Amino acid sequence: MTTRDEWRPDIGTNARPLFRAIVEALRRDIASGRLGDGDRLPPQRVLAAHLGIDFTTVTRAYAEARRQGLVATHTGRGTYVRFPGSLSHNPARPEHPDRNTLIDMTMNLPPQPRDAHFQDRLATGLAAVQSMPGALDLLQYSPGAGQTADKGAATRWFQGRLDPVDPDCVLVSAGTQSALTAVLTMLAGPGDHVCTEALTYPVFRALCAQLRIGTIGLDMDEAGLRPEAFRAACKAHAPKALYCCPTLHNPTTATMTERRRRDIADIAAEFGIPLIEDDAYGRLPDPAPRALAAFAPDNTYLVSGLSKCLAPGLRIAYVHAPGPRQANRLASALRATALMPTPMTAALAAYWIETGSADEILRAIRRDAVVRQSVAGEILDPGSFRSDPQAFHGWLTLPEHWSRSEFTSHMRSAGVALVASDAFATVPNPPHAVRLCLGAAPTPEELERVLWTVRDALAGPPAVSAAVG
């Protein structure tokens, strides 16, 4: 039997896609007897390193080999050769996830890849924070907008996407939701209206409802909200602000072009409309685009949370206000609504940023997101699934024979919790779609099983309730 690190495929030098060359070599080696039923193939990273090619190419090759029935993957054990006689009738589809274990895709979580070394970084970071001079002060109340060291880390986090960064405009908050609450209470009140994309962050919708602030949904296309829709809303409604997510938009993954960012900035300046930029996913693309605030520095509140780019429990967000006066007002609003960010968490975040750990974690998350998007691309119809290679969520259009409520209910009964477009909509008649959060599954292999469950459901008719007579 071939051991896991021994197989070295001969993929030649011709121009066909590399992933197909690997599959062809695998098929040849099975036919020649070089590989036998049950032989374990090398891990994808090992094979990629040996061949000197991109890891995602090997991932795609293994996925295609599974589709053709040449191999089977077992979580935690690896990928194995399967002879035709040993295959089930659909070898490409792994077993469905345990229906008693819910894969919760209602929260858009970043994956936690092994090569991010979270456990080690957490232990090292906490030990470093504990050994800092005055560490016991982290158990006391702190300034509502963050300590000086925290603001220094925030300034570094913004660099490259918002230049120059004014230290007098930087604040630290207890997560994105806290920052959005404080900014919104500064800019609008009951009976006022703010503009948003037609599909927007559900928490922002709920916040507006709680504060009795109306929302004006703006038409979108593949590059995000349309500038002409924003201009029309400014003329017709005189909104108090525009809230938007210009990079890897939640839920559609749309990213505004630089030209569009300039257009939005120009319209906001023309009508005197403050901008609230939710930069939750802004650091994920590589290279990351310049923030919208870079084109409208005098009237944009840039909110950059760490929960989506690093870890969900790192409830820290950095805010860059349009100027020192607005920063002072925002500091008061942050103190009134959330008092302060947790000093220990803020110190850990600052340590990770200053030592480079944050960048290394971010790179690992990017790599894992690419793998997960590759898995999704192999299983889901590209005509109905929209995403971005470096996002860890995607937008799935449903077939007409499913209603959104029926589909999400069916998927929950199958062990997968999803969110339909209704939760994001600020306009009537939302798209017939659901959001898929690819980071929710613990591993890419688990995600593969989940997505086969989704694909099977899409292909079949809605189940008829047993209670219907």
Report the CATH number at residue 386. Answer: 3.90.1150.10
The average pLDDT across 455-469 equals: 69
Enclosing H/E stretch for 276: strand 275-278
Check pLDDT > 70 for residue 296: yes
- In this structure, are 254 and 319 located in the same domain? yes
Q: Which CATH number belongs to the domain containing residue 287 in this structure?
A: 3.40.640.10
Residue 38: pLDDT band with limits 50, 70, 90: confident
- In this structure, are 384 and 422 located in the same domain? yes
Q: Locate all alpha helices (DSSP H) within 216-304, ordered by sequence.
A: 227-237, 258-271
Does residue 322 belong to any structural domain of this protein? yes
The average pLDDT across 284-305 equals: 97
- Sign of dihedral through CA atoms 444, 446, 452, 457? negative
Q: What is the pLDDT of residues 230-266, one digit of tens each?
A: 999 999 999 999 999 999 999 999 999 999 999 999 9
- In this structure, are 402 and 292 located in the same domain? no
Res 383: pLDDT: 93
Does residue 5 belong to any structural domain of this protein? no
Residue 364: pLDDT band with limits 50, 70, 90: very high
Q: Which CATH number belongs to the domain containing residue 38 in this structure?
A: 1.10.10.10
Check pLDDT > 60 for residue 321: yes
The average pLDDT across 344-355 equals: 96
Q: What is the pLDDT of residues 92-145, one digit of tens each?
A: 444 444 445 789 999 999 999 988 999 999 999 999 999 999 899 999 988 778
- In this structure, are 311 and 182 located in the same domain? yes
Check pLDDT > 60 for residue 318: yes
Last residue of a domain, one of 328, 358, 388: 358
DSSP count for the chain of H helices, then E strands: 14, 17
Does residue 445 belong to any structural domain of this protein? yes
Does residue 93 belong to any structural domain of this protein? no
C-alpha 457/C-alpha 451 separation (Å) is: 10
Res 69: pLDDT: 79
- In this structure, are 303 and 339 located in the same domain? yes
Does residue 1 belong to any structural domain of this protein? no
- In this structure, are 376 and 240 located in the same domain? no
Pick the range with the lowest mean pLDDT from 63-77, 142-156, 293-307. 63-77
Does residue 8 belong to any structural domain of this protein? no
Retrieve residue 277's tokens.
């930029």
Res 361: pLDDT: 97
- Pair 276, 299: CB distance under 8 Å: no
Res 78: pLDDT: 80
Check pLDDT > 90 for residue 84: no
Question: What DSSP string describes 391-453?
Answer: -SEEEEEPPTTS-HHHHHHHHHHTTEE-EEGGGTBSSSS--SEEEEETTSSSSHHHHHHHHHH
- Give the residue numbers spanning the domain of 60: 18-86
- In this structure, are 277 and 353 located in the same domain? yes
Residue 465: pLDDT band with limits 50, 70, 90: very low
Q: What is the pLDDT of residues 14-32, one digit of tens each?
A: 656 888 889 888 988 888 8
- Pair 397, 379: CB distance under 8 Å: no
- In this structure, are 271 and 374 located in the same domain? no
C-alpha 359/C-alpha 286 separation (Å) is: 11
- In this structure, are 346 and 251 located in the same domain? yes
- Pair 1, 36: CB distance under 8 Å: yes
Res 174: pLDDT: 95
| Count of domains observed in the chain | 3
Last residue of a domain, one of 325, 358, 391: 358
Check pLDDT > 50 for residue 149: yes
- In this structure, are 323 and 224 located in the same domain? yes
Check pLDDT > 50 for residue 89: no
Residues facing 78 on adjacent strands: 74
Pick the range with the lowest mean pLDDT from 35-44, 206-215, 354-363. 35-44
User: Which H, E and C letters describe 138-204, residue by residue?
Assistant: HHCCCCCCCCHHHHHHHHHHHCCCCCCCCHHHEEEECCHHHHHHHHHHHHCCCCCEEEEECECCHHH
Q: Write down the mean pLDDT value for the chain.
A: 90
Check pLDDT > 50 for residue 4: no
pTM listed for this prediction:
0.79
Q: What is the pLDDT of residues 378-434, one digit of tens each?
A: 999 999 999 999 999 999 999 999 999 999 999 999 999 999 999 999 999 999 999
- In this structure, are 162 and 247 located in the same domain? yes
Residue 152: pLDDT band with limits 50, 70, 90: very high
Check pLDDT > 70 for residue 171: yes
Does residue 11 belong to any structural domain of this protein? no
Retrieve residue 352's tokens.
């990770």
Enclosing H/E stretch for 124: helix 118-130
Last residue of a domain, one of 298, 329, 358: 358
Does residue 280 belong to any structural domain of this protein? yes
- In this structure, are 82 and 128 located in the same domain? no
Pick the range with the lowest mean pLDDT from 4-8, 184-188, 214-218, 407-411. 4-8
Res 467: pLDDT: 42
